[in-house]
A and B are shown apart, each in its own frame.
Chain A
Amino acid sequence: MFKNIIELKNINKVYKAVGGDTKALKNVDLNIKEGEFLAIMGPSGSGKSTMMNILGLLDTPTSGTYILNNRDVSKFNEKELAKVRNKEIGFVFQQFNLLPRTTVLDNVLLPTVYGDIPDPKGKAESLIEMVGLKKWGSHKSNELSGGQVQRVAIARALMMDPSIILADEPTGNLDTKRSINIMKLFQEINKKGSTIVLITHETYLAKYASRIIHLRDGNIIKEEMNK
């Protein structure tokens, strides 16, 4: 219980540009414990997207180490990173989460195209039921509402039993009521044991997390615990 699932040590990320380099993350240290529901907050330009990309292994840090499940993944090559993304990270993006003209079921099954799990179809169906879309399995993604799309994305994120679920402003396109429903779903999943990292700039959404860190100009400036 409470072992560190993610350890970021002295992470720096520098974007090179002709007009001068941008330091998106500066000497960031962060530990995320198993079973935690962490919210990362901050205004735009604070480095939250960079943080999300590095946590999600979509980008590599300029320096520093990233330990995921006791493995240093900061030196992994493209192929190894793809495998880790597939098996250990579940993504929920703000938009363009689903393949267009593709059924809910096939969208949830998408990670299993790139990695094997036993009985993918049965698992996908039970996850679709869990997010409350039992009757929607054979519907195409473009027939769904914004909230339903995010639910499908959450079901897909759980498909490979990842170590961590990364949600990047998952309710950015939703109204308050639907946003809260999604947060409740995340909370529910968290209670079942999934580790969740939520990126948001809405305080009322961050309140659903167990811990909140605030980023500004590439630094963690504040950390608070919820009861």
Chain B
Amino acid sequence: MKFASILKQSFKAIMSNKGRTFLTILGIVIGIGAVIGLMSLGNGVRESISEQIDTLGTTNLRVTSIPGVNSSMPENFTDRRNGSIEQPTNYPMGGLSQSLTQEDLKAIEGISKDVVSYSAGYVANQVEFVAKDRSQIASLLGVSPDYFVLNSFSLESGEYVNSESGNEIVLGSELASNLFVEEDPIGKEIEVHNTAFIVKGILGEESESNISNPNLQAYISDTKAFELFGTEYYSGITVQASSEDTVDEAKEKIEEALLKSHEIEDASLADFSVTSSEDLLSMVDTIMTMLTSFLTGIASISLLVGGIGIMNIMLVSVTERTREIGLRKALGAKTSDILIQFLTESVVLTLIGGIFGILAGYLIGTGVGRWLDIDAVVTIDSIILAVGISSLLGIVFGIYPAKRAARLNPIDALRYE
């Protein structure tokens, strides 16, 4: 039996009952569409997170406290000023309990310049900034002097703050323009928690990420921030390795230095963690892979249901066409010819479903992606997977009806009413 004529017959049989074919295929379209859509969204989220991690700098390492490892909660953590001070909000990243001090920063700064070029500590808090006639709630960061150069910030005007700055403040570009309209903020006064600060510098426009927006932040010296927030701990320390090749060495050296300054001997009890962009990437990758496979697994259930629909309709088709099968056998069709014919039919059905499913998945992915602000990525892999799965569905769910058809006795089939 020639393959071209098998295909031709399959299409004819499928097209002879368009309504039924459409409904049967719909099950597969939905299943494949859901799988492709979810996979593309998963890939999109993964890529956008990766990009954001890249904006943090591939040579940057983040040192944060590990919550709960060590009970080094500061005594003055609460109520130092009758509750008028909020607790540090661990922003952008940090633990609940704090362990990173200025001593630690000094220890890290002591590492050879061949390995670590810059390191900077920061402590962050959401506060209300009150200018002459405007106010805004935004992040206030107390930073050590190298923070600006480490993050490659630029100055629009004025100067950066340093450890000796006291009540001086640097504003992000957006925050500056929000607080001061049509006047030069430099030298003007801003109040934060009833403490007056003089604007010393305005940052240029910096690139923002979902993790933080430096344009909507203000910066004071770390010592002043400790005093203002009533803490002596950094939310985190950012360290820049001298190059991508020294990232791992830098990580080791930092861990060594901090274990020493925290007087911890067993590295597994460390109350801090040092994370490189690569660590973050692989972590995100693991989480996203898990999440995507989980969701895809759930979506596959609809594929199973679609497959059962195919089997059902193929069984109906075999019964309806019993006499056709008898006729074909009388005219010389072998059992295998009938088997192949019906199997081809179910595979053609599921493949058509698969192709439209890929299309549906792409639409779902881009549609939901636009809504969630994610660029959905339909990969060749997922298309191959979808085509493979849909043909497999056709075979798996078509084999039983096809066998039933092939086994029919020609006499009984011809006599079938």
- Complex contacts, A101 vs chain B, CB 8 Å: 12, 16
User: How far, in whole Å, are A101 and B321 apart by their CA atoms in the complex?
Assistant: 12
Q: Is A99 touching B324 in the complex (CB atoms < 8 A)?
A: yes
Asked whether any CB of chain A lies closer than 8 Å to the CB of B207, the reply is no
In chain A, residues 194-224, which have Cβ atoms closer than 8 Å to a Cβ of chain B?
A: none
- Complex contacts, B329 vs chain A, CB 8 Å: 58, 82, 85
Beta-carbon nearest neighbor of A85 in chain B = B332
Q: Is B337 touching A58 in the complex (CB atoms < 8 A)?
A: no
Q: Is B332 touching A86 in the complex (CB atoms < 8 A)?
A: yes
User: How far, in whole Å, are A113 and B323 apart by their CA atoms in the complex?
Assistant: 17
Q: Which one of A56, A78, A93, A110 contacts B334 once the chains associate, using CB atoms below 8 Å?
A: A78
User: How far, in whole Å, are A111 and B337 apart by their CA atoms in the complex?
Assistant: 12
Q: Which one of B9, B16, B334, B414 contacts A82 once the chains associate, using CB atoms below 8 Å?
A: B334
- Complex contacts, B330 vs chain A, CB 8 Å: 56, 58, 85, 91, 93
Q: A58-B410, A59-B411, A113-B1 are in contact. Are A86 and B331 (CB under 8 A)?
A: yes
How many of A's residues come within 8 Å of B, CB to CB? 26
User: How far, in whole Å, are A53 and B337 apart by their CA atoms in the complex?
Assistant: 21
CB distance from A73 to the nearest CB of B (A): 14
Asked whether any CB of chain A lies closer than 8 Å to the CB of B167, the reply is no
Asked whether any CB of chain B lies closer than 8 Å to the CB of A122, the reply is no
Asked whether any CB of chain A lies closer than 8 Å to the CB of B150, the reply is no
Q: Is B327 touching A111 in the complex (CB atoms < 8 A)?
A: no
User: How far, in whole Å, are A114 and B331 apart by their CA atoms in the complex?
Assistant: 8
Asked whether any CB of chain A lies closer than 8 Å to the CB of B2, the reply is yes
- Complex contacts, B335 vs chain A, CB 8 Å: 78-79, 82
- Complex contacts, A160 vs chain B, CB 8 Å: 332
Q: A101-B12, A113-B2, A114-B1 are in contact. Are A79 and B411 (CB under 8 A)?
A: no
Q: Is A83 touching B332 in the complex (CB atoms < 8 A)?
A: yes
- Complex contacts, B333 vs chain A, CB 8 Å: 82, 113-114
Asked whether any CB of chain B lies closer than 8 Å to the CB of A2, the reply is no
Q: A53-B411, A96-B327 are in contact. Are A111 and B332 (CB under 8 A)?
A: yes
In chain A, residues 75-123, which have Cβ atoms closer than 8 Å to a Cβ of chain B?
A: 78-79, 82-83, 85-87, 91, 93, 96-97, 99-102, 110-111, 113-115
CB distance from B343 to the nearest CB of A (A): 16
Q: Is B5 touching A113 in the complex (CB atoms < 8 A)?
A: yes
- Complex contacts, A110 vs chain B, CB 8 Å: 327-328, 331
Beta-carbon nearest neighbor of B8 in chain A = A106
Listed in ascending order, the chain A residues whose CB lies under 8 Å from chain B are 53, 56, 58-59, 78-79, 82-83, 85-87, 91, 93, 96-97, 99-102, 110-111, 113-115, 156, 160
Closest 4 CB pairs of A and B: A86-B332, A114-B332, A82-B334, A96-B323
The contact sample of 18 A-B pairs, CB cut-off 8 A, is A56-B330, A59-B411, A82-B335, A83-B334, A85-B329, A85-B331, A87-B332, A91-B331, A96-B323, A99-B324, A100-B324, A101-B16, A110-B327, A110-B331, A114-B331, A114-B332, A115-B332, A156-B331
